[in-house]
Chain A
Amino acid sequence: MRRAGSRATGIVAIAVSVVVFLVPFAFIFLTASKDASSASRLEFTWPTQWAFTENLTEVLTTRDGIVVRAFLNSTVLTVVSVAVMVVLAAMVGYLLQRRKSRLNPVVNFFVLAGLIVPPAVVPTIWVLQQTGLFKTMPGLILIEATFGLSFCVLLFRAFVATIPRELDEAAIIDGAGPLRLFFAVILPLLRPVIITIVVVQAVNVFNDFTNPLYFLPGDENATVQLTLYNFQSQMVSQFNLLFMDILLITVPPLVMYIFFNRQIVAGMTSGAVKG
Chain B
Amino acid sequence: MTEVGSAKRRRTAGSGSTSATQRSIYPTWFYLPAGVLYLIFFAVPTFASFWFSLTRWTLFDTEFIGLDNFVQFFAEPQLSRGFLNTLIYGFVTSGAKVVLGLALAVLLTSQLVGRGYLRSVVFFPVLVSTIGVGITFKALLDPFDGVVNTMLATFGIEGPGWFTDPNQALLTIAAVDVWKGLGIATLIYIAGIVAIPQEYYEAARVDGAGAWRQFRSITLPLVQPATATVIILSLIGGLRSFDLIWATTGGGPGFTSDVIGSVIYKQYQAGFYGLSTAGNVILFLVVTAIMVPVSLLLNRKEVDR
* Contacts from A to B (Cβ < 8 Å): 6-7, 9-11, 13-14, 17, 20-25, 27-28, 31, 41-44, 88-89, 91-92, 94-95, 98-99, 101, 103, 107, 110, 112, 114-124, 126-127, 129, 131, 142-143, 145-147, 149, 153, 166, 168-170, 172-173, 178, 181-182, 203, 206-207, 209-210, 213-214, 224-225, 228-229, 232, 239, 242-243, 246, 249-250, 253-254, 257, 261, 264-265, 268-269, 272-274
Contact = CB atoms under 8 A, between A and B. Distances in A.
A172 B30 contact: no
B45 A119 contact: yes
A88 B34 CA distance: 5
Nearest to B43: A110
Given A182-B30, A250-B132, A269-B194, 9 more contacts: A13-B112, A14-B114, A27-B147, A42-B142, A129-B59, A142-B41, A146-B37, A166-B10, A206-B129
B122 A121 contact: no
A21 B225 contact: no
26 contacts: A6-B112, A13-B114, A17-B117, A21-B122, A24-B125, A24-B137, A27-B139, A92-B30, A92-B34, A95-B27, A98-B26, A114-B42, A119-B46, A120-B49, A120-B284, A122-B49, A123-B280, A126-B52, A146-B42, A149-B37, A207-B128, A209-B130, A209-B246, A210-B243, A243-B136, A269-B195
Interface in B172-191: 179, 187-188, 190-191
A94 B46 contact: no
Interface residues of B, number: 96
B167 interface: no
A28 B125 CA distance: 12
A122 B26 CA distance: 37
A210 B33 CA distance: 25
Contact of B113 (A7, A127, A145): A7
Nearest to B120: A261
A9 to B, nearest CB: 7
A178 B25 CA distance: 5
Interface in B218-238: 225-226, 229, 236
Nearest to A133: B41
Contact of A95 (B13, B31, B120): B31
Nearest to A40: B145
Mostly helix, strand, loop or mixed at chain A's interface? helix
Given A42-B142, A118-B240, A250-B127, A101 B122 contact: no
Contacts of B118: 13-14, 17
B214 to A, nearest CB: 14
Interface in B71-116: 107, 110-115
Contacts of A145: 37
B123 interface: yes
